[in-house]
A and B are shown apart, each in its own frame.
Chain A
Amino acid sequence: MHGYDYGLILAFFALVLIPAPFLGRFYYRVMEGQHTWLSPILGPVERGCYRLAGVDSAVEQSWQKYTLALLAFNLAGFVLLFAILLLQGYLPLNTEQLPGLEWTQAFNTAVSFMTNTNWQSYSGEASLSYLSQMVGLTVQNFVSAATGLAVLVALCRGIGRKSATTLGNFWVDMTRATLYGLLPLCLLLALFLVWQGVPQTFAHYVHGVTMQGVDQVIPLGPAASQIAIKQLGTNGGGFFGVNSAHPFENPTAWSNLFEVASIILIPAALVFTFGHYVKDLRQSRAIIACMLALFLIGGATSLWAEYQPNPALDNASVEQTAPLEGKETRFGTTATVLWSVTTTAASNGSVNAMHDSLNPLSGMVSLVNMMVGEVIFGGVGAGLYGMLLNVLIAVFLAGLMIGRTPEYLGKKLGAREVQLLVATLLVMPVSVLVLGAVAASLPGPAAAVSNPGAHGFSQLLYAYTSAGANNGSAFAGFGANTPFHNLMLSLGMLIGRFGYILPVLALAGSLALKKTAPIGQNSFPTHGPLFVTLLTVTILLVGGLTFLPTLALGPIAEHLSMGF
């Protein structure tokens, strides 16, 4: 570790944590329709949208109507994107005359972007037209993140309100999240990225001749605008196939810093938004403390593991340093590890190095981050609603231990709430273990692995974990573009997205109906160090007990076999 490594880590935490309380308060004001400094500019646009869509922004919805609206909007978005990808050959802005995608790949991609996963079964510069990228993918990048934010504020209202029958209006929440929550930050980040070297043009790919006389095609496109939202919206689907490892997608150490900080900028801020909803910022600080603890445990483990030279090269006349296969020189080991931990802590899934070539235990940290449900900051909205489920589980466990009815912020948890919580606990096991086991036991699909031994198993495990957790990163040697995996991974993504959203909205509806009991002497405080510890241990235990056997077969076996 050098001075610049510490500089990077400090700058990263400063960029994420210093704006969080202010941005969090801004999001609260925006989502509750209060006046902000952007209202004079965006207010007319917002009201115009409601008028054209026939939405009365003053009318709130029950949790059932909120859910139906969300599902209808997501279904419409899926159909539009699926159609664009199938038909791109007949649509404009197709400078390289690319044909439509094969249908299972188009299906997989449309599901992937609607669910905020952004698994890339395609390579952008080789398969997608400019129209597909910007009118297709970019739009879903925005609205899938806005959907996550809407679900989160619905849950916040459910916890914060007393004896209420409504959770807000999905159309209004989605619109405000997009216009105020995402668009302004994206404009700033996109222009910063162009300054650093990311292309932003509608011109054709350039045909040149290299210095030594070889023909070279230079792919271009409206890249910066898409890369900004794919980082800020925790989407992760790259404009180029190799994602933020591509020198056009992430050209400098500075672009790298801002891209990686953008991944959890909004998720960290939303923890404070929650505090405003429940009028108790101590809860926000407790949750942030737990997230930071988990982030630092994973980050330190991954850094230590990734700085170990490959033992297979011990006796070779080769520089004995941290491995560089699959890494970019301008990032080096520290920035690679910081990114691999952040992108899987959040549901981003963009990469600045190839995770397939990471040392076994650093790859394992990425897997674990996803397996615990991406609650360490997590996706936009999705991370915090996932974390709040863990908070409620921890409260329930604490209630069992002290023999009292569990309650959180004055809301008593009954049988229905606990049933819904347990339903969400099944999402990751089903999408990873059940679907992954089916894939691993069929000879055709299992042949998609490209590395021998335990690492081959890790590749398949990573793919199904990434889909279930709506992450989108990959051990990219895994040959996932087959009809089987395209469809199975789509199923995993749908279970991983709606397996959380539906119970969370039902839970929000059920909590909103409850009265708020006064917080008395006997209530278990949910803001002190004791609760933070309980929450952290709960997350590690629930995830650990479920997935430890698979980790033993994959990364742990690989680590032990390499003789570090």
Chain B
Amino acid sequence: MSTLIRPALSLLLLMTLITGVAYPLVVTSVAQVAFPAQANGSLIVDAAGKVRGSTLIAQDFTGDAWFHPRPSAGAFATVASGASNLSPSNPALATRVIDDAGKLQVPGQGPVPLALLTTSASGLDPHLPPAAIAYQLARVAAARNLPASTLQALLDANTERPLVGPPVVNVLALNLALEKL
């Protein structure tokens, strides 16, 4: 039996030390030197040194003067976040979408972008498609008494266009830029 038990236990221990201790420590050491901002959560720190969020984690914005993110099934809870898991055939989904569309509809701007009416998989989706930001542009411009062209320029500057994915706008980054105007 010692040909079975000794290798089983010692190799489990050795693999634990190599893959469970050494490997994460090596990755952490290199990451903390090479990419410290990302490795620590891409935090946003204000002038007073206070953490105001992470660029990757959506936070709620209400009021006419801010761009609103996608709705969150977990009300932007982070521990743990979650999704609605509503099936496409579930009547509760269509009811909610149609109700919200009624509230968000802007006369003369066409149908409401679907991203503003659907909850994301993570509950913390930090992005919106540019069209879903553009749909809110007139409201924010009016509330801030700014020309729409200024906000359009801000939107363009904050639109990311990766070669392997759809164009997106980080809503928190956009609102931070908005605040600095």
A174 to B8 CA separation, bound complex (whole angstroms) = 11
A454 contacts the other chain (CB 8 A): yes
Interface string of B67-79 (1 = CB under 8 A from A): 0001000001011
Given A319-B113, A328-B121, the answer on whether A4 and B85 have CB atoms closer than 8 Å is no
Chain A nearest CB, measured from B7 CB (Å): 5
Among candidates B60, B111, B127, B175, residue contacting A330 with C-beta atoms closer than 8 Å: B127
Q: With A4-B166, A318-B97 in contact, do A356 and B86 touch (Cβ < 8 Å)?
A: yes
Residues of B near A335 (CB, < 8 A) are: 164-165
Q: Return B12 CB to nearest CB of chain A, in Å.
A: 5
A455–B9 Cα distance when bound, in Å, is: 45
Q: Let me know if B19 is at the binding interface, CB within 8 A.
A: yes
B60 adjacent to A210 (CB under 8 Å): yes
A209 within 8 A of B: yes
Closest to B123 in A: A242
Contact with B along A281-322 (1 / 0, CB 8 A): 000000000000000000000000000001011001111110
Interface 1/0 per residue, A171-203 and B, CB below 8 Å: 100110011001100110011001111111111
**At the interface, yes or no: A86 with Cβ under 8 Å from chain B?**
no
Most buried by A among B15, B40, B79, B122: B122
Residue numbers in B under 8 Å from A399 (CB-CB): none
Q: Which residues of B contact A318 (CB under 8 A)?
A: 97-98, 101, 111-112, 114, 117
A415 interfacial by beta-carbon distance below 8 Å: no
- Known pairs A247-B125, A477-B86; A52 contacts B119 (CB<8 A): no
Of B46-54, B140-148, B150-158, the stretch lying at the interface with chain A is B46-54
A228 to chain B: closest residue by CB: B27
- Chain A proximity of B103: nearest CB distance (Å): 11
* CA–CA, A251 and B168, complex, Å: 12
Q: If A212-B62, A323-B118 touch, does A143 touch B15 (CB 8 Å cutoff)?
A: yes
- The residues of B that contact A126 with a CB separation of less than 8 Å are 79-80
User: Which of A136, A178, A211 is close to B176, meaning CB atoms less than 8 Å apart?
Assistant: A211
**Distance of A186 from chain B, by nearest CB (Å):** 7
Residues in chain B near residue A125, CB distance under 8 A? 78-80
A257 at the interface (CB under 8 A from B): yes
**Would you call B52 and A211 a contact (CB within 8 A)?**
yes
Interface 9-residue window, one of A33-41, A69-77, A520-528: A69-77
Q: How far is the CA of A124 from the CA of B122 in the complex (A)?
A: 13
> Whose C-beta in chain A lies nearest to the C-beta of B9?
A76
Contact between chains at B93 and A325 (CB < 8 Å)? yes
Whether B105 and A317, one on each chain, are in contact in the complex, defined by CB atoms closer than 8 angstroms, is yes
Contact partners of A72 in chain B: CB under 8 A: 4-5, 8
- Decide: A217 and B79 in contact? CB cutoff 8 A: yes
Q: Which chain B positions have C-beta within 8 A of A477?
A: 84-87
A329-B129, A354-B83 known; A143 vs B43 contact (CB < 8 Å):
no
| List of B residues within 8 angstroms of A77 by Cβ | 12
Contact status B60-A52, CB under 8 Å: no
We find that the number of chain A residues with CB closer than 8 angstroms to chain B is 127
Beyond A247-B56, A356-B86, whether A68 also contacts B165 by CB under 8 A is no
Known: A135-B16, A194-B31. A175 touches B51 (CB 8 A): no
* B127 partner, pick from A211, A220, A329, beta carbons under 8 A: A329
Residues from 60 to 88 in A contacting B, C-beta threshold 8 Å: 68-69, 72-73, 75-77, 80
CB distance from B87 to the nearest CB of A (A): 4
Output the least CB separation between B119 and chain A (Å).
Answer: 6
The residues of A that contact B162 with a CB separation of less than 8 Å are 4, 252-254
A319-B10 in contact (CB<8A):
no
CB pair B53 A199 closer than 8 Å: no
Task: Specify which chain B residues have a CB less than 8 angstroms from the CB of A331 in the assembled complex.
Answer: 165-166
Q: Which residues of B contact A73 (CB under 8 A)?
A: 7-8, 11-12
Contact present for A248 and B97 (CB under 8 Å) = no
- A357 lies within 8 A of B53 (CB): no
A54 touches B38 (CB 8 A): no
Instruction: Report if A163 contacts B (CB, 8 A).
Output: no
Chain A residue numbers with a CB within 8 Å of B83 are: 242, 245, 326, 354, 356-357, 476
Complex interface: chain A residues within 8 A of B127 (CB) = 328-330
Please tell me if the beta carbons of A225 and B125 are within 8 angstroms of each other in the complex.
no
Q: Which chain A residues numbered 230 to 283 have a C-beta less than 8 Å away from chain B?
A: 240-242, 245-248, 251-254, 256-257
B residues less than 8 Å from A313 (CB atoms) = 94, 97-98
Residues of chain A within 8 A of B26, CB atoms compared? 187
B90 within 8 A of partner (CB): yes
| B41 and A206 contact, CB distance less than 8 A | yes
Q: Which residues of chain A are near B81, meaning CB under 8 Å?
A: 240-242, 246
- A455–B5 contact, CB under 8 A? no
Expressed in whole angstroms, the minimum distance between the Cβ of A246 and any Cβ of chain B is 5
A210 in contact with B53 (CB, 8 Å): yes
- The answer, yes or no, to whether A401 is at the interface (CB within 8 Å) is no
B121 lies within 8 A of A351 (CB): yes
Cβ contact within 8 Å between A329 and B70: yes
Please choose the segment from A445-453, A492-500, A503-511 that sits at the chain B interface, where 4 or more of its residues have CB less than 8 A away: A445-453
A267 to chain B, nearest CB (A): 20
> In the complex, what distance in Å separates the CA atom of A247 from the CA atom of B121?
10
A476 to B122, CA, bound (A): 12
Q: Are A138 and B6 in contact (CB under 8 A)?
A: no
**Contact with B34, one of A191, A225, A257, A317 (Cβ below 8 angstroms):** A191
Whole-angstrom CA separation of A220 from B51 in the bound complex: 14
A224–B124 Cα distance when bound, in Å, is 18
> Top 9 A-B pairs ranked by shortest CB distance?
A253-B165, A477-B85, A208-B51, A245-B121, A123-B80, A455-B87, A312-B94, A126-B80, A53-B10
Could you tell me which A residues sit within 8 Å of B by CB distance?
A: 2, 4, 7-8, 11, 45, 49, 52-55, 68-69, 72-73, 75-77, 80, 123-126, 134-136, 138-139, 141-143, 171, 174-175, 178-179, 182-183, 186-187, 190-191, 194-203, 205-212, 214, 216-220, 222, 224-226, 228-229, 240-242, 245-248, 251-254, 256-257, 310, 312-313, 316-321, 323-332, 335, 351-354, 356-360, 450-455, 458, 475-477, 558, 561-562
* Extra 6 A-B pairs, beta carbons < 8 Å, given A211-B175, A218-B54, A228-B27: A73-B8, A125-B80, A139-B19, A175-B15, A191-B27, A326-B120
A-B contact pairs, 30 of them (CB 8 A): A2-B166, A4-B161, A4-B163, A69-B4, A76-B12, A138-B23, A139-B20, A190-B31, A197-B38, A202-B28, A208-B52, A211-B61, A211-B172, A212-B62, A222-B28, A224-B39, A241-B80, A242-B81, A242-B123, A251-B56, A252-B165, A310-B93, A312-B89, A326-B118, A328-B127, A332-B165, A335-B164, A335-B165, A358-B88, A451-B86
